[in-house]
Amino acid sequence: MQPNARRSEIVGLYGDSLKIKIAAVPEDGKANAELISFLAEVLGIARANVMLIRSEFACERCLVSGVSVDLVRSKLRPKGEANEVP
């Protein structure tokens, strides 16, 4: 996740992860809340079905429930990218 962007958007692959720009500041959980809202909106699910998980290196991972893996892959494909997201 990259906070302080002009708009929230999926940028592309970053290694085996998906890079997402978020239009919120990284203060008081605002960027995290925007990430949850953005993913929920893109996937068409409730915000309660998106949960952030932190690793020991503070890299954020998302746990999404209530939607199929195929739908997640198709909805989270970066714009202009023809290949599937792994």
> What average pLDDT values come out for the chain (86 residues) when binned by 10 residues?
90 82 90 92 93 71 86 76 47
> What domains, with CATH codes, occur in the chain?
9-75 (3.30.1200.10)
Contact 19, 9 (CB under 8 A): no
What is the pLDDT, as a whole number, of residue 84?
43
pTM of the model: 0.79
Report d(CA 82, CA 61) in Å as an integer. 24
DSSP state of 30: H
What is the pLDDT, as a whole number, of residue 81?
55
